[in-house]
Structure 1
Amino acid sequence: MDAGTAPVAREVALLTNPTAGKGRGLAARAVALRRLREAGFVVRDLVGGDAGESLDLARDAVADGVWALVVVGGDGMVHLGVQAVAATGVHLGIVPAGTGNDVARYLDLPRKDPAAAADRVVASTPRRLDLARTGPTYFVTVLAAGFDAVVNERANAMTWPRGQMRYNLATLAELRTFEPISYTLDLDGEVHRLDAMLVAVGNGPSFGGGLRITEGALLDDGLLDVVVIRPMSRPGLVRAYPKLFRGTHVHLPEYEHHRVRSVTVAAPGIVAYADGERIGGLPLTITSQPGALSVLS
């Protein structure tokens, strides 16, 4: 660079879910946009009309060589951003504006202060984290493949009520009829056939706004944490639910935990969810992708 020539400002793409957090996404976007520009970034301000358009915008920005993709929203928006940046070397920044924000919890990001979160993006050093992958899809948090996935599927089919109450009603509805599921698990080549209430595959330790189902999972160990909850009574399942917020369900006699590099989960009639997003019907093979995400935290 010639003497006296100013350095080229780094460009970031700011991608917002305007409906995140009951409208908090747009307010957080305005704050983040101002903070990033004040820090000297050239900001490409992106808002998609739907998830498909948002992903196209994100991938176009990554292909154009932006330094980072900064997403404003919840875990669903992080999930979308990861599909664009995984294994590319483009960094992912997060300004939390959703309801669950589990990835923000992992990274100890400010969840109610978009200015502070944007400042963390500006000041941070990129850090490498693992991802999990099934088919072409990456995820950061947990893949649910049991009772929790069945509840998600029912809740998504409901048009009323909105928000958390819809999931509460779906949970109550499923509890009336839910029976243990027959699974076949291939854990790094070792096959297990068993009945269980659920199987969860964690890249990180929690999902659903702090439910620590895969307690102890690390984001940089190159391993997946597979948790199995063996059959229990419906009242027992209800009593176990609060333990998930504290991670104390690990002491239940029905709990078992495996650490693997790859797992195939098979069960009839189950549609799996990861990062809160619908992934698809079982069977699915999930593999750890060490260091596949560069995150600004």
Structure 2
Amino acid sequence: MSDFKSWMQGVQARMEDTLSAVLPRADHLPARLHEAMRYAVLDGGKRVRPLLAFAAGELTAASPERLAYAGAAVELIHAYSLVHDDMPAMDNDVLRRGKPTVHVAFDEATALLAGDALQTAAFDVLSHHALADQPATQLKMVGILARASGSLGMCGGQGVDLYSVGQTLTLPELELMHILKTGALIRAAVLLGAHCGEPLSDEELARVDHFAKCMGLAFQVVDDILDEEADTATLGKTAGKDAANNKPTYVALLGLKGARDKAAELQLDARAALAPFGARAERLLDLADYIVARSH
């Protein structure tokens, strides 16, 4: 585990440098917008999605440089989604990653523009750098991130979430919402990382995608548990928000024990999917354990 911790810290440090490099300088016109973009992305966050990209890259012997750019593209999409989710028209939150949300630190109009600009910056990164041996593979990677980000992925899941406030969803309905809202971008991170290296067979890609699907759901189940159990200082965001807003969650549907059992079941399913890869999947398996055991 100490080896995993060192690996994780190394990837996180590399991602901080890469994200800082791909974002416009804070003094570049329009300075306030660029300052808000950097505020939203840098100096915070666990970088789970880039970590997943790097770990998946170990399955295909991908270069760290390619993985850093692929991870940056996914993280920029994630950051933009947080900026918009926190705004008054959405979740109306004032705290993110232990500091005021972007619309509080700047203003609503700047936050809206910062989110828009971070979204397009992700595709600039993904298309500007050579991330695959074949152009067709890189074009596929752009499509993977686009699909995962839009109405058939993350944005669609957020829409279902908004329209489900006050409703009681069945377990399949709740899972579908989170396959889109949280899971789509996590799956994209894993697939982008894998595509940065040597080609996998269709069967191998299906196994990798199944792992990512399971972990995307597990990540959300754990989020729901932490929203119920952890405090605001630990989370770095407002605790108890989902219950206060009467949102459907795994805890509300299954109870705390049921939610924990669900996370453990998904973790086992994810690990089983990667069994044929052997030692090449070590980092992905470490991340599966980290995601389920995390405290924030």
Shorter-chain TM-score tier: under 0.3
Which has the larger share of helix? 2
Q: What TM-score do you get using the length of structure 2 for normalisation?
A: 0.26
For the pair shown, the structure with the greater C-alpha radius of gyration is: 1
